[in-house]
Chains A and B, each alone.
Chain A
Amino acid sequence: MEKRLIKKETLAGIVGELAGKMRVCAPMKAEDQVLFRVLEAGEKPLVDFANAKNAPKNFFFPRTETLLKFTRTGKGMVRAGEPEEGEKTLLFGVRPCDARSFTLLDMLFDQEKYKDPYYIDKRAKTTIVAIACVHPPYTTCFCTSVGGNPTDSAGVDLLLTDLGNAYLAEFLTPKGEELLAAFGGSPSNAQAEKAKEGIAAKAAAEITSHIPAHEIKPILDTHFEDPFWNTLHQKCLACGTCTYLCPTCHCFDISDEVKRNDGIRIRNWDSCMFPMFTKETSGHNPRSSQKERWRQRVMHKFRYYPDNFNAIACVGCGRCVMACPVNLDIRKIVTDIAKI
């Protein structure tokens, strides 16, 4: 694996220049928020930021995505092709928790049977450049409890770690190595790599939020019916914010839109927190109240995903904790489940 040192003040410029040559998505200031978006040529991304408000899953699994097109004929609507394929993309400034979320989404969308070509195409054409969290940005971060850490390289092609005077750039994969020329820099050395180890240990130690995420699986296995679920959801507004911001949530709806003689079949993010999500035409709804929906959200992340993929479907980014309008905190819920 190639490792380089990159001068700190040059990084944003390198990425800005790349934006003139290929599609680059990166965190940018948007009013008082930081959001991922596509850069204009020469536009410099943020390199000092906490994390983006929106999860970068949007670039592989867009909030709204056309699956296919159709058009009217004398015998009815017929298929008229699929949307164009994705283009080569650089996704810059991803935090390690979010990069790890891609490996979790891969398990589902890139399964042995039934591959999702839309996701896989964009994922294959995208190179992930992550910036390690030398100082975990939020008190709500709990990546170390769910299998990650602030300097983790899972799902990353090129990992940048701020050593104070320079970035250590680790070109982890062949895709990452394609960026060697553009990123330039000077050869790394033993001292820099030792410094990184120290920084990594300190960063992990700075995480103060710990939850027993790995301990609750056996409890969830045996407590589908439990008084615990009766009150948990009571404050929940069913707004869906938690699932829309979550980097690992993948549920979607499929619907058709028609304008005159042409139409598209699209998929939109959906949410298990919405009453309509499972409601059948007959009126029957197997998850008939918010109680069942909250239970589904917890079960999906901490029991069913482990059952199916041997992995917890939460990367500890804390977005749902910060954004929930009624302060429902997944960390507290997991902690409480461990006490059942």
Chain B
Amino acid sequence: MQNPYIPAPVEVVKIVTEVDTKDIKTFRFAFQNKEDEAAFQYLPGQFAELSIFGKGESPIGIASSPTQPGYVEFTVQKAGVVTSALHEMEVGAVMGIRGPLGNSWPIDFLAGKNIVIVGGGFAFTTLRSLINYMIDDRNRSRFGKITVIYGARNPGLLIYKDELAAWAKRDDINLNVTVDKGDADWKGREGFVPTVCREVAPSSENAVTVICGPPVMIRFTLPVFFELGFSKENIITSLEMRMKCGIGKCGRCNVGEKYVCKDGPVFSLAELDKLTKEY
């Protein structure tokens, strides 16, 4: 019997400090065993438990895309015990990954539709995975128009800056990056995500919105999408709850009868409407 509590050993092969405040880093891991790598079949939107023996585990969304073989990436904010220990790590260190866990962005449901991606702050991680998945040459034709609206408080807090620059050059993504307040060097858009969504006004015709960000951003952005005609079935988001086991056993991450770790973290607003409001 496979033991779902055993993490696969990985080596840290690359670390990128994403933001000026230095508390958000992207870690690239390579599996030490080929079998573990082969077994780690994931889709954008899934997460894994990052495991540091002696410190514990943290559930973190997978930031890389399965179209990028050979490694997995996670973008982690320094918060408590495990994430701080992770931030101390250097290239060459070994640790563990347990997963992939949870459901994913509903790829089959998204296929054939126009996709609107809305992200705020560093919750952009699994959306980045989805974007890279969709724009991969082998997948691009499966999806319609791709519109991305991504915001951070200031330019120094935008993550994946190199990738944003690369996406901006493509003509098959409508990329809209915004900051609440720019600085002297900032030449891009200024404004809150909900406002920018209203300005960009993506059509709801055959379209799905995938949204991830801080609760206030989501609260003010949803009405904009309702006005644009998006139904609750066509707005998809991801939940966060405190987790331990990640496999629906330890009992702490349920919202109603659903375990966010196992049945989520991805839900449509229509699905969330059916659950208790306890998250």
Interface residues of A (CB under 8 A from B): 67-68, 70, 73, 75-79, 82, 108-109, 111, 113-118, 120, 224, 250-256, 258, 263, 265, 267, 270, 272, 277-282, 286-287, 292, 296, 299-300, 303-304, 307-308
* A131 vs chain B, min Cβ distance (A): 30
Extra contacts besides A79-B6, A251-B252, A252-B244 (14): CB < 8 Å: A75-B92, A114-B262, A115-B2, A254-B56, A267-B250, A272-B252, A277-B252, A278-B242, A278-B253, A280-B241, A281-B83, A282-B79, A296-B278, A307-B257
A254-B245 CB under 8 A given contacts A79-B9, A287-B278: yes
| B9 and A78 within 8 A (CB) | yes
B94: chain A residues within 8 A (beta carbon): 73, 75-76, 78
B248: chain A residues within 8 A (beta carbon): 108, 111, 114
A252: chain B residues within 8 A (beta carbon): 244-245, 249-251
B95: chain A residues within 8 A (beta carbon): 76-77
B79: chain A residues within 8 A (beta carbon): 281-282
* B210 vs chain A, min Cβ distance (A): 23
Cα-based distance from A272 to B248 in the complex (angstroms): 15
* A260 vs chain B, min Cβ distance (A): 11
Find A304's partner among B56, B250, B256 (CB 8 Å cutoff).
Answer: B256
| Segment from B14-22, B47-55, B140-148, B199-207 that makes contact with A | B47-55
Q: Looking across the interface, which residue of chain B has its beta carbon closest to that of A80?
A: B53
Q: Looking across the interface, which residue of chain B has its beta carbon closest to that of A287?
A: B278
Interface secondary structure of A, over-half rule: mixed
CB of B190 closer than 8 Å to a CB of A: no
Interface core residue of B2, B89, B94, B252 (most chain A CB under 10 Å): B252
CB of B80 closer than 8 Å to a CB of A: yes
A67-B5 CB under 8 A given contacts A77-B52, A256-B54, A304-B257: yes
CB of B254 closer than 8 Å to a CB of A: yes
Cα-based distance from A277 to B241 in the complex (angstroms): 11
B188: chain A residues within 8 A (beta carbon): none
Q: Looking across the interface, which residue of chain B has its beta carbon closest to that of A250?
A: B251
Find A76's partner among B5, B93, B244 (CB 8 Å cutoff).
Answer: B93
| A114 and B249 within 8 A (CB) | yes
| A254 and B57 within 8 A (CB) | yes
Cα-based distance from A282 to B3 in the complex (angstroms): 31
Contact residues on B (Cβ < 8 Å of other chain), bracket: 35 or more
Q: Looking across the interface, which residue of chain A has its beta carbon closest to that of B247?
A: A114
A117: chain B residues within 8 A (beta carbon): 1-5
Cα-based distance from A324 to B55 in the complex (angstroms): 35
CB of B96 closer than 8 Å to a CB of A: yes
| A115 and B1 within 8 A (CB) | yes
CB of B276 closer than 8 Å to a CB of A: yes
Find A279's partner among B7, B9, B242 (CB 8 Å cutoff).
Answer: B242
| A78 and B53 within 8 A (CB) | yes
Cα-based distance from A270 to B53 in the complex (angstroms): 21
CB of B240 closer than 8 Å to a CB of A: yes
Cα-based distance from A196 to B86 in the complex (angstroms): 63
B240: chain A residues within 8 A (beta carbon): 280
Cα-based distance from A233 to B60 in the complex (angstroms): 34
* A203 vs chain B, min Cβ distance (A): 33
CB of B226 closer than 8 Å to a CB of A: no
Find B254's partner among A108, A109, A258, A304 (CB 8 Å cutoff).
Answer: A304
A-B contacts at CB below 8 angstroms, number: 121
4 pairs of A and B residues whose beta carbons are closest in the complex? A77-B53, A251-B251, A70-B53, A307-B257
Interface residues of B in 9-42 (CB under 8 A from A): 9, 11
A286-B257 CB under 8 A given contacts A75-B93, A117-B1, A252-B244: no
The 7 listed contacts between A and B (C-beta, < 8 Å) are A67-B5, A79-B96, A108-B249, A253-B250, A256-B54, A300-B254, A304-B254
Q: Looking across the interface, which residue of chain A has its beta carbon closest to that of B245?
A: A254
B186: chain A residues within 8 A (beta carbon): none
CB of B279 closer than 8 Å to a CB of A: yes
B242: chain A residues within 8 A (beta carbon): 277-280
| A251 and B53 within 8 A (CB) | no
Give per-residue flags for B130-167: 1 if the beta carbon is below 8 A from chain A beta carbons, else 0.
Answer: 00000000000000000000000000000000000000
Q: Looking across the interface, which residue of chain B has its beta carbon closest to that of A255?
A: B56
| A253 and B80 within 8 A (CB) | no
| A265 and B249 within 8 A (CB) | no
| B252 and A68 within 8 A (CB) | no
A77: chain B residues within 8 A (beta carbon): 52-54, 95
| B6 and A270 within 8 A (CB) | no
A224-B276 CB under 8 A given contacts A76-B93, A304-B254: yes
| B257 and A68 within 8 A (CB) | no
* B39 vs chain A, min Cβ distance (A): 14
A279: chain B residues within 8 A (beta carbon): 242
A68-B5 CB under 8 A given contacts A75-B93, A250-B249: yes
Q: Looking across the interface, which residue of chain A has its beta carbon closest to that of B239?
A: A286
| B241 and A286 within 8 A (CB) | yes
Cα-based distance from A221 to B278 in the complex (angstroms): 14
Interface core residue of B54, B241, B277 (most chain A CB under 10 Å): B54
Interface core residue of A67, A70, A77, A307 (most chain B CB under 10 Å): A77
Cα-based distance from A75 to B91 in the complex (angstroms): 10
Cα-based distance from A147 to B98 in the complex (angstroms): 38
Cα-based distance from A254 to B2 in the complex (angstroms): 19
Cα-based distance from A78 to B95 in the complex (angstroms): 7
* B277 vs chain A, min Cβ distance (A): 8
A78: chain B residues within 8 A (beta carbon): 9, 53, 94
Q: Looking across the interface, which residue of chain A has its beta carbon closest to that of B256?
A: A304
Find B53's partner among A118, A256, A287 (CB 8 Å cutoff).
Answer: A256
Find A79's partner among B7, B57, B254 (CB 8 Å cutoff).
Answer: B7
